[in-house]
Amino acid sequence: MRVEIWSDVACPWCYIGKARFEQGLAAFANKDDVEVVFRSFELDPQYPKGQTVEVLPMLAKKYGMSVEQAKQAEARVAANAADAGLRYLADGRDHGNTFDIHRLLHFAKTRGKQNELLDLAYAANFAEERSVYDAERLVELAVQAGLDEAEVRAVLADEQAFADAVREDEREAQMLGANGVPFFVLDRKFGVSGGQPAEVFTQALEEAWAARTPEPLKVVGGTAPEGAVCGPDGCEIP
Amino acid sequence: MRVEIWSDVACPWCYIGKARFEQGLAAFANKDDVEVVFRSFELDPQYPKGQTVEVLPMLAKKYGMSVEQAKQAEARVAANAADAGLRYLADGRDHGNTFDIHRLLHFAKTRGKQNELLDLAYAANFAEERSVYDAERLVELAVQAGLDEAEVRAVLADEQAFADAVREDEREAQMLGANGVPFFVLDRKFGVSGGQPAEVFTQALEEAWAARTPEPLKVVGGTAPEGAVCGPDGCEIP
């Protein structure tokens, strides 16, 4: 079974939701047969690359509240994070454009290191006051995740590398009806919106598992003589 | 889009079919948005582990033909392989149990090296007279694929490691109606049976691409207040 998780490193509920999902997954009997893939979703794609802003004044402006009120709101998010076993800095974080992080997460997927890199990026952004809006920091995190430094630098230097993969994920999110993140899709049949309690994820996994009986496949190419196959009784001989 | 390919390293048409599929994929406009996953299918699961037999006498016995006739049949498979740009030894290969190779391919998937290992295993088995039915040879191939030797040895030594993943693939093959391999499944909607000509794969990829519009997802967990999400206009504040 396959779970796709649309998320953004700049998204607090994605950080918390990932931990809650993992708790829900741990309680699921067939957890060893679940493949998890992370998909790209930018919360703020228009934010200029290379610039950052402090989170609290940004939130205050966005919601028309005082910086003090924004800080209280962030403290409530931090309490949710703590419940999920996560450290969360309610103050001192920055915000910026996440396109390059998404490109790098796609590269990490090709090397089997996507989950590692995402965990490190979340920790840097939310728990450690280490900005992820900086190319050198991304190189550092990627190497820590087990990726090759020269390859990582090449991906970051080439703005086209994995750019289509990021955009394709975002198109798919739209097709699937995701207006916000985190957004969880199970076998392209079941969806969970938001960082829900762990039990909701366990329930969704159980429902998707029970619904696994596949639709009949549409056969392309028929059983032409060129469709040479091997079965338990041997191989077709040309 | 996602293509799953059920195959076995002992299967000549899987070796040839992989090359034909890759040719068909290369001619497909959206090839960069295609993810390929290899799934396990054992042609001869009852064959005792640790034993091998020469291929030609084995085929002669299986099909009730002379060894010379088996050799001629293998030469015709070799001609098909050559058409696909592959070297194929019609004589001198051995046959055995592939369960450990499948376990190792599952481990390689977790490290982003599945395709590399499979290519090396096919080449060893079909092109190079290097038996793949030998733990030390598997270690050698896995290291060549970029895997960590100690981790590879640990996987091979633990008979349970990835064993369920292999069996689950085989159950899924059955559910999907695959009686032989190679068996190609596109987005769990379209199927191609056998090592068909490259054009069939291109056509299947085009049909599956056109059919990508998803069914509406079944929502689990609703939009409970705990379903905290972030969208373009900001995050839910608890």
CATH number of the domain encompassing residue A159: 3.40.30.10
Predicted pLDDT of residue B150:
97
A154: left (phi over 0), alpha (psi -120 to 50) or beta: alpha
Average pLDDT over residues A151-156: 97
Which residues does chain B have within 8 Å of residue A44's beta carbon, measured at their own beta carbons?
232
CA trace torsion B186, B192, B195, B201 (10° rounding): -60
List, in order, residues 6 or more apart from B84 with CB less than 8 Å away.
Answer: B16, B19, B20, B23
Q: Which residues pair with B186 in a beta bridge?
A: B3, B190
Q: Is A198 contained in some domain?
A: yes
Q: Does residue B227 or residue A86 have the better pLDDT?
A: A86
Position A9 in a domain: yes
CB-count burial class (<10 Å; 0-12, 13-18, 19+) for B142: buried
Query: What's the structural domain count of chain A?
Result: 1
Q: Interface pTM (ipTM) of the complex?
A: 0.80
Task: Give contacts of A234 with chain B, Cβ < 8 Å.
Answer: 59, 62-63
Over residues B149-168, the mean pLDDT reads: 95
Backbone φ, ψ for residue B8 (5° rounding) = -140, 140
- Asked whether the beta carbons of residue A200 and residue B234 sit closer than 8 angstroms, the reply is no
Do B125 and B108 touch, CB atoms closer than 8 A?
A: no
User: Can you tell me whether residue A116 is helix, strand or coil?
Assistant: helix
| pLDDT tens-digit map of B72-116 | 999 999 999 999 999 999 888 999 999 999 999 999 998 999 999
In the chain, the amino acid numbered A87 is R
Q: What is the pTM of this model?
A: 0.73
CA angle A154, A42, A21 (to 5 degrees): 100
Between CA A115 and CA A109 the distance in angstroms is 8
- Residues ≥6 apart with Cβ < 8 Å to B159: none
The reply to whether B225 falls in a domain is no
The answer as to whether B230 is a domain residue is: no
The reply to whether B202 falls in a domain is yes
Task: Tell me the per-residue pLDDT of B10-41, one tens digit each, with 9 for 90 and over.
Answer: 999 999 999 999 999 999 999 988 999 999 99
- Whether B227 is covered by a domain: the verdict is no
Q: Which residues, at least 6 apart from A110, have a Cβ–Cβ distance to it below 8 Å?
A: B112
Domain-embedded: residue A238:
no
Contact B194, B182 (CB under 8 A): yes
Which residues are paired to B95 by β-bridges? B53
Q: Could you tell me if A226 lies within 8 Å of chain B, comparing CB atoms?
A: yes
Contact A30, A2 (CB under 8 A): no
Predicted confidence (pLDDT) per residue in A185-207, tens digit? 999 999 999 999 999 999 999 99
Q: Is residue B229 part of a domain?
A: no
Report the residue from A14, A189, A238 with minimal CB separation from B80: A238
For residue A87, give its domain range: 2-212
Task: Give residues 53 to 72 of B whose Cβ lies within 8 Å of A.
Answer: 59, 62-63
- Which long-range contacts link B67-74 to residues 24+ away (Cβ below 8 Å)? B73/A237, B73/A238
| Local confidence band at A32 (pLDDT 50, 70, 90 cut-offs) | confident
Between A and B, how many CB-CB pairs are < 8 A?
229
Least Cα distance to B33 among B201, B183, B182, B205 occurs for B205
Of B6, B2, B21, B3, nearest in space to B196 by CA: B21
